[in-house]
Amino acid sequence: MSELQSIDASNFDSLTASGVVLIDFWAEWCAPCKMLMPTIEQVASETAGKATVGKINIDDSQELALKFQISSIPTCVLLRDGEEVQRWTGIRPADEYVNAIMASA
């Protein structure tokens, strides 16, 4: 199983500069975010070696939440070579994320 990356300002640029990255913007107090966690873990496992899957805690990384104009959580953003290619708000099935990652890889 691929391990989820904890992303913050210190490692954001190095993790997102190249390749495909799925970022889950979340917060500890967000019940839907906690419900999405097993799905994100499944996506990380299914896309191991093809994409990086990580989480950004919006309370700890407010500058990144502002950069991506996150107004509702959970929000997942798919990046390819540092550029946003797709965005989802709310809870979605794992195959929706996996299919988007495979199409971008």
Instruction: Enumerate the active-site residues.
Output: 30, 33
Q: Can you tell me the distance from the alpha carbon of 9 to that of 97, in angstroms, rounded to the nearest whole number?
A: 24
What does residue 16 show for φ and ψ, rounded to 5 degrees? -110, -5
Q: Enter the tokens of residue 40.
A: 């994100």
- Residue 96's Cα: distance from chain center in Å? 13
